[in-house]
Amino acid sequence: MALPELFHDLLFDYTLRTVALGAAILGCVSGTLGSYAVLRRQSLLGDAISHAALPGIALAFLLTGSKAPLVLVLGAAAAGWLGTLLVMGVVRTTRVKFDSALGIILSVFFGVGLVLLTFIQKRPDATQAGLDRFLFGQAATLLAHDVVTMAALGGLALLTMLLFWKELKLLSFDPEFGSTLGFPIRALDVLLTTLLVVAIVVGLQTVGVVLMSALVVAPAAAARQWTNRLGVMVALAGSFGALAGVSGAVLSSSAARLPTGPLIVLCASALVLLSLCLAPNRGIVWNALRQRRNRRRLQVDGEAIP
Amino acid sequence: MSAPQFEIQLIAVVVAAACALPGTFLVLRRMALMSDAISHAILIGIVLAFFITEDLASPLLIVGATLTGVVTVSLVELLHRTGRVREDAAIGLVFPLLFSVAVILIARYADNVHLDTDAVLLGELAFAPFDRVILAGWDLGPRALFIMGAILALNAAVIGLLYKELKLVTFDAGLAAALGFTPAAVHYLLMALVSITAVGAFDAVGSILVVALMIAPPATAYLLTDRLPLMLGLGVLVGAAAAIGGYWLAHWLDASIAGSMATVAGLLFGAACLLAPGRGLIAVARRRAAQRWEFAQTMLAIHLFHHRDAPDAAEESRVAHLETQLRWERRFAEQVVRRAERRGLIRRDGQTLTLTDRGAQLAQEALGG
Amino acid sequence: MLATTTATAIAIRDLTVAYHDRAVLWDVDLDIPAGVLMAIVGPNGAGKTTLIKAILGLVPVVAGEVRIEGRPLAEVRRRVAYVPQRGSVDWDFPTSVLDVVMMGRYGALGWIRRPGRRERDAALAALEQVGMRDFAGRQISQLSGGQQQRVFLARALVQDAAIYLMDEPFQGVDATTERTIVGLLRELRSAGKTVVVVHHDLQTVPEYFDWVTLLNVRMIASGPVDAVFTPELLRRTYGGHIAFLGQDDGGLAAVAGGGA
């Protein structure tokens, strides 16, 4: 597809415009809030939250009979939140470690979700069609009002983050010190986790539970390479996420049978690779060049003094 | 119970057992999420091998997938070693990428063959009995049973032969290296086992439930015992129970077998969290309640012991004082005093408490230890 | 109630702290007079860090209470500053030296409000005090251990507190930093502040401090260094694991062995 044509479609093709906008929002929100998860060594918490959301979606549908995006997203958020709480609870009260607890919650919640999905599927009214899009995500099914829901929820999460910027920074860097200053660290932790849950459920319909975690980790990991400032990192991660979202959506529209979710992940991964190699200061390429130059200089110096 | 029903359960039990063995070491080595990474990433190995052989039954698929599993582990390590990405983030970067590539390849080129992502992710155990090994006209049984049986035997054999090495590397990698075992080699061998098990199992239960069967049963066993051999055995048993329980739950709900197995595995883990003797939440709560009295009496003895010869002894030894200084509730303080009196640790004279010799001895022992 | 006059900075009564059913501190009574420069000394596992954390309300207390200037901590939080162990945070966190130091003002700022020019100036002044003014813009991962420690000290300085609690500030720092810290401790004392330091190096106790608390799960002794820092009491604190190297200029040089 030629470039001008692409821009034309992006602006005037309803489906592509909706999908690209939705992907941009999900990439931006998850990238921004994912920065905290990556910095706090909770990268894989996103994986647990997104898998744990599946039974919530099924249960929300089973209880209300509605497929309205807000209902399903609320179900997903509640289950994702419960899953996170259980992970923390297991780690705090038993000898089972964080990684095992994550693995168990992730796979068991997903299993429960599967049971519920297949259970719904076999009911006589068989109206589950559309729920399994949450497995891999189906960007093409995004409608304008889905995007509005995503934008409202994501916007709310980002605003909350900005409002509590100073407190969340303190929580991420030195929670114990924050506690001595009188901030309720436990409550802040719950707040940040809730924001991450929102970021993840916002993207589930587009990317699916299996790949959503990548959009929490990849933009943040890429952004970390370019800067040593939290503010810049968070903003960059949001931009990278949005960029990956839009490019994934556009690429997937460029040919038949190119699923959007995996393409978004591919774009985000490409950004990581690029950042790892080329980012100033931390980039591997610059580092290698610098080392080579230093070695050469040492050799020259060494020859001067036999 | 019909023959296919029996066969499905048998396959499920063998899968669960095969998963629990390497899973035990993953749990102990805090690498549980490697199973998540590997079970997703092997899809690309299967896809590539399928493109080469164009045969879903080819053994090359297993070889290809196992190799991808090991490659995934080394990619994670490579990324981590650049010093620019932490290990948890490295895992979270590598496997979604490989999985995405596989999904795209399937969507683009393999749509017309029945290698679809749903089956890979979710597995369908119910169909396993229909794919049979028939040799010279003899029906030998379901193919999945042979494959998983072989993998189970392989896991048992490797863990049996290298038990000592695995144990040493798990508990003290430094010592293992010093004694001349290469921890890296043992590590990669274990990861190869995890990969091959995941490949074999995910045909039956799907990639995410491989994680459930690898982690939940060993973690359950971990709550029940401190001994490695017992943990291996219990992990297999719990896995088998989840397999059979899951089968009947699915039968009852008319729902996904794999999902039900994961659900039951989760329930068993939850039950162990609550009920495990000695370590379960209930046992701990009961022991705490009992120890609370014991602890409070020791505290009282130490308190009186400290203030025995001090000028404020009379003040510090009053029952009412315990409320203000030790921050004890009146009723709790009264209870502790009564219990300590009964044990002969203190003597009570109206409002004033004095420490007996036995009480002083207890205080000294507590302080000394 | 025991009398807690204004001359007592921290009053600890019958403090017992336990993790699960294992006591880490048993029935500790301790009065820390205002204006002293005090070391907390004791073997590994003696509960030194726990004592500081209990004063700061960071660990749950089984029994007893801590009063600061006669009041509960929650009422006087701003009068207490804390310097945690260097290793307790991730030094690869994307933030600058100035930013970390400004965190000391967050408590005074309260919720939502962002640090502004005033906080910035205070942070720069504190960095000047620890000799790190030139490093204000540095990313914290580029600091040496001693520099990290000085950043933490500066963060406590901007809290402008009356009481400073420090957890092993001398642990693994270079000679320059050690001198800076000692100078700073003395400055704080002459400004009338109370400083409590968890300390490992017995030899420097008489030189650096005027007050000392000997702790080994229970209180052994507390008071002026001359009165308390004696071979007899040290032996009681460390059990047998201690060797005395003799006396020099009235001070006591002792080396704690057995992993202390």
Q: Partners of C12 in the beta sheet? A: C30, C66
- Backbone torsions φ then ψ of B139, nearest 5 degrees: -85, 110
Q: How high is the pLDDT of residue C110?
A: 86
Please give the residue of chain B at the shortest CA–CA distance from A92: B281
Partners of C21 on chain B (C-beta within 8 Å) are 287-288, 291, 295
- Residue the block writes with tokens 């393999």: B110
Please give the residue of chain B at the shortest CA–CA distance from A272: B93
- pLDDT at residue A301 greater than cutoff 70: no
| Mean pLDDT value across residues A212-224 | 94
Higher pLDDT, C126 or A121: C126
Partners of C1 on chain B (C-beta within 8 Å) are 324
CA separation for the pair C1, A45 (Å, rounded): 49
Q: Which of A102-106, A127-131, C21-25 has the highest mean pLDDT?
A: A102-106
Cα of A55 to nearest chain C Cα, Å: 35
Please give the residue of chain B at the shortest CA–CA distance from A287: B82
Contact C158, C207 (CB under 8 A): no
Please give the residue of chain A at the shortest CA–CA distance from B269: A104
Q: How high is the pLDDT of residue B43?
A: 86
Q: Residue C107 and residue A170: Cβ atoms within 8 Å?
A: no
Q: Residue B279 and residue A216: Cβ atoms within 8 Å?
A: no
Partners of B97 on chain A (C-beta within 8 Å) are 214, 265-266, 269
Q: How high is the pLDDT of residue C247?
A: 46
Q: How high is the pLDDT of residue C127?
A: 92
Q: How high is the pLDDT of residue C251?
A: 44
Q: Which of B85, B103, B216 sits opposite A262 (nearest CB)?
A: B103
Q: How high is the pLDDT of residue B120?
A: 61
Q: How high is the pLDDT of residue A55?
A: 93
Specify the range with the lowest mean pLDDT, choosing from A22-31, B12-21, B110-119, C2-11: B110-119
58-77 in chain C: CB under 8 A from chain A: 58, 74, 77
CA B43 to chain CA mean position, Å? 24
Within an 8 Å CB–CB cutoff, is residue C96 touching chain A?
A: yes
Within an 8 Å CB–CB cutoff, is residue C146 touching chain A?
A: no
Percent of chain A having pLDDT more than 90? 54
- pLDDT at residue A119 greater than cutoff 50: yes
* pLDDT digit string, tens, across residues B119-166: 666 667 777 777 777 777 777 778 888 889 999 999 999 999 989 888
Contact A51, A36 (CB under 8 A): no
- Cα angle vertex A197, ends A193, A198, to 5°? 120
Q: How high is the pLDDT of residue B116?
A: 59
- pLDDT at residue A131 greater than cutoff 90: no
* pLDDT digit string, tens, across residues C212-256: 999 988 888 888 988 888 888 888 888 766 655 544 444 444 555
| Mean pLDDT value across residues C121-128 | 92
Q: Residue C93 and residue A229: Cβ atoms within 8 Å?
A: no
Residue A235 half-sphere exposure toward CB, CA atoms < 13 A:
7
Within an 8 Å CB–CB cutoff, is residue C123 touching chain A?
A: no
Interface test with C, best of A177, A179, A191, A232 (most C CBs within 10 A): A177
In this structure, are strands C211-216 and C218-224 parallel, antiparallel, or unpaired? Answer: antiparallel
In this structure, are strands C251-256 and C163-167 parallel, antiparallel, or unpaired? Answer: unpaired
CA separation for the pair B122, B88 (Å, rounded): 25
Residue type, C2: L
Burial class of residue A147 in the structure, from the number of CB atoms within 10 Å of its CB (0-12 exposed, 13-18 middle, 19+ buried)? buried
Residue C224 Cα distances to B232, B252, C29, C33, C81, angstroms:
58, 76, 16, 10, 23
Partners of C63 on chain B (C-beta within 8 Å) are 299, 326-328
Q: How high is the pLDDT of residue B303?
A: 81
Residue type, C98: L
Q: How high is the pLDDT of residue A300?
A: 66
Compute the CA torsion angle B231, B232, B234, B236 (nearest 10 deg): 160
Contact C95, A228 (CB under 8 A): yes
Q: How high is the pLDDT of residue C259?
A: 37
Q: Partners of C17 in the beta sheet? A: C25
Q: Residue B327 and residue C65: Cβ atoms within 8 Å?
A: yes
First vs last C-alpha separation in chain B = 61
- Backbone torsions φ then ψ of C111, nearest 5 degrees: -65, 150
Contact A89, B270 (CB under 8 A): no
Burial class of residue C214 in the structure, from the number of CB atoms within 10 Å of its CB (0-12 exposed, 13-18 middle, 19+ buried)? buried
Residue B253 half-sphere exposure toward CB, CA atoms < 13 A:
22
Cα of B346 to nearest chain C Cα, Å: 17
Q: How high is the pLDDT of residue B114?
A: 56
Going by C-alpha positions, the residue among A37, A9, A14, A89 that lies closest to residue A215 is A37
| Mean pLDDT value across residues A185-189 | 92
Contact B69, B199 (CB under 8 A): yes
Residue type, C147: Q
CA separation for the pair B299, B282 (Å, rounded): 25
Within an 8 Å CB–CB cutoff, is residue C64 touching chain B?
A: yes
Specify the range with the lowest mean pLDDT, choosing from A99-108, B102-111, C138-147: B102-111
Contact C170, C150 (CB under 8 A): no
Within an 8 Å CB–CB cutoff, is residue B247 touching chain C?
A: no
Q: Which of A44, A95, A257 sits opposite B108 (nearest CB)?
A: A257
CA separation for the pair C31, C29 (Å, rounded): 7
287-326 in chain B: CB under 8 A from chain C: 287-288, 291, 295, 299, 302-303, 306, 312, 324-326
Q: Which of C2, C63, C217 sits opposite B326 (nearest CB)?
A: C63
Specify the range with the lowest mean pLDDT, choosing from B312-316, B339-343, C110-114: B312-316
Higher pLDDT, B213 or B183: B213
Where do the domains of chain B lie, and which CATH numbers do they carry? 3-279 (1.10.3470.10), 283-366 (1.10.10.10)
Within an 8 Å CB–CB cutoff, is residue B327 touching chain C?
A: yes
> And the tokens for A220?
């943040």
Partners of A161 on chain C (C-beta within 8 Å) are none
Q: Which of A179, A181, A229 sits opposite C95 (nearest CB)?
A: A229
Specify the range with the lowest mean pLDDT, choosing from B1-15, B66-80, B165-179, C115-129: B165-179
> Residue C203 has what DSSP assignment?
G
Contact B215, A100 (CB under 8 A): yes
Going by C-alpha positions, the residue among B249, B309, B312, B219 that lies closest to residue B26 is B219
Q: Residue A41 and residue B215: Cβ atoms within 8 Å?
A: no
Partners of B303 on chain C (C-beta within 8 Å) are 14, 27
- Who contacts B61 (Cβ-Cβ below 8 Å, separation ≥6)? B45, B46, B49, B50, B53, B199
Q: Which of B30, B85, B100 sits opposite A211 (nearest CB)?
A: B100
* pLDDT digit string, tens, across residues A239-294: 999 999 999 999 988 887 888 889 999 999 999 999 999 888 778 888 888 888 88
Please give the residue of chain C at the shortest CA–CA distance from B304: C27
Q: How high is the pLDDT of residue C83?
A: 93
* Average pLDDT value over all residues in chain C: 85
Q: Touching A: which chains, 3+ CB pairs < 8 A?
A: B, C
* pLDDT digit string, tens, across residues C142-186: 888 889 999 999 999 999 899 999 999 998 888 888 988 999 999
* pLDDT digit string, tens, across residues A149-159: 899 999 999 99
Partners of B103 on chain A (C-beta within 8 Å) are 136, 259, 261-262
Higher pLDDT, A241 or B340: A241
- Who contacts C202 (Cβ-Cβ below 8 Å, separation ≥6)? C41, C234, C253, C254, C255, C256
Q: How high is the pLDDT of residue C240?
A: 64
- pLDDT at residue B260 greater than cutoff 50: yes
Partners of C114 on chain A (C-beta within 8 Å) are 165-166
Specify the range with the lowest mean pLDDT, choosing from A133-142, A164-173, A229-238: A133-142
Contacts 24+ apart (CB under 8 A), B280-289: B280/B223, B281/A93, B281/A94, B284/A93, B287/C21, B288/C20, B288/C21
Do you know the residue count of chain B?
369
- pLDDT at residue B324 greater than cutoff 80: no
CA separation for the pair A293, A280 (Å, rounded): 16
CA separation for the pair A205, B104 (Å, rounded): 18
Where do the domains of chain A lie, and which CATH numbers do they carry? 15-304 (1.10.3470.10)
Within an 8 Å CB–CB cutoff, is residue C116 touching chain A?
A: no
Residue type, B334: E
pLDDT band for position A302 (cuts 50, 70, 90): low
- Who contacts B293 (Cβ-Cβ below 8 Å, separation ≥6)? B335, B336, B339
Q: How high is the pLDDT of residue B287?
A: 82
Burial class of residue B189 in the structure, from the number of CB atoms within 10 Å of its CB (0-12 exposed, 13-18 middle, 19+ buried)? middle
Q: Residue A225 and residue B84: Cβ atoms within 8 Å?
A: yes
Cα of A147 to nearest chain C Cα, Å: 30
Higher pLDDT, C113 or B156: B156
Contact C58, C51 (CB under 8 A): no
Cα of C227 to nearest chain B Cα, Å: 19
Write out A255-269 in H/E/C secondary structure. CCCCCHHHHHHHHHH
* pLDDT digit string, tens, across residues A14-36: 788 888 999 999 999 999 999 99
pTM: 0.86
